[in-house]
Each structure stands twice: as structure tokens, then as C-alpha cells.
């Protein structure tokens, strides 16, 4: 059994949020490691947008019940090298993941000039 979530984000939406709310936006959505990684790039916005899409895709794949809320900072896309990233889920959001019987995950993100997208797959049996 699997659960899939996907999301697409306009990079300009993230740029606008960053310009309007600055560090407050970053601290509410991203881990310190994610912010550090994204800011190593000439334009951090597509990288932030990809991670934002990933967090939204995770929330969709979790298929939360009414009243259950996932904290975006508890959803982290780890890995600093080009290529495959690892999804790391912490805290209450990890509890939701485990309670639903998920054992593993796979994630794919992409970003271009105007859009960033992510797909997340949760597995109930290890592949």
C-alpha cells in the first residue's frame, strides 16, 4: 500500500513571501539546514520553492484527519549534494506518519525558472 502527494509552486509566490516576511517566513517553514543550503545558491528562491512544494506534498500524502495539523518545520528535505534527497520527518508529524503505518518514503523535486514541483510517495511495506 502506498500514498502519494504532489505539489507545484510558483517561484514568484515564494519570492514575494520572502520579501514581505523575510526571516519570519523562513523560520516558520524551513529548518536551519534547509535555509543554509538554499542560501548557498545564487538565487535561493527556486530551492526554497522546491522544499515548500515537498512539504505540501508530504502533508497531502499523509491524508490527515480533521484537527490533525502537520508542522512544516517537522518536514525536512535533507542532502546537500546534487541529485537524490532524503525526506526526514520529525516530531508530531512523524507520529502521524507512523500511526498511519508508513515505513518508508521516496521524494522527487524539480525546479525551473518559474515553477517548482515535488512528488512524495509513502510506503507501508519497505521496498
Tell me whether residue 100 is exposed, middle or buried, using C-beta atoms within 10 angstroms of its C-beta: 0 to 12, 13 to 18, 19 or more: middle
71 has binding-site annotation: no
43 is in an annotated binding site: no
Taking CA 46 as the corner, what is the angle to CA 19 and CA 6, rounded to the nearest 5 degrees? 115
Q: Which residues are annotated as a binding site for Mg(2+)?
A: 7, 56
Q: Which residues are annotated as a binding site?
A: 7, 56
Amino acid at each position: 500500500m502506498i500514498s502519494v502527494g504532489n505539489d507545484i509552486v510558483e517561484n514568484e509566490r515564494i519570492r514575494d513571501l520572502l520579501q514581505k516576511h523575510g526571516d519570519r517566513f523562513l523560520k516558520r517553514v524551513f529548518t536551519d539546514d534547509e535555509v543554509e543550503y538554499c542560501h548557498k545558491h545564487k538565487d535561493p528562491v527556486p530551492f526554497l520553492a522546491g522544499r515548500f512544494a515537498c512539504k505540501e506534498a508530504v502533508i497531502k500524502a499523509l491524508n490527515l484527519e480533521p484537527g490533525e495539523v502537520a508542522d512544516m518545520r517537522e518536514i525536512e528535505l535533507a542532502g546537500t549534494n546534487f541529485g537524490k534527497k532524503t525526506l526526514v520527518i520529525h516530531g508530531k508529524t512523524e507520529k502521524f506518519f507512523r500511526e498511519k503505518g508508513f515505513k518508508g518514503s521516496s521524494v522527487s523535486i524539480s525546479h525551473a525558472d518559474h515553477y517548482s514541483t515535488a512528488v512524495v510517495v509513502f510506503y507501508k511495506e519497505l521496498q
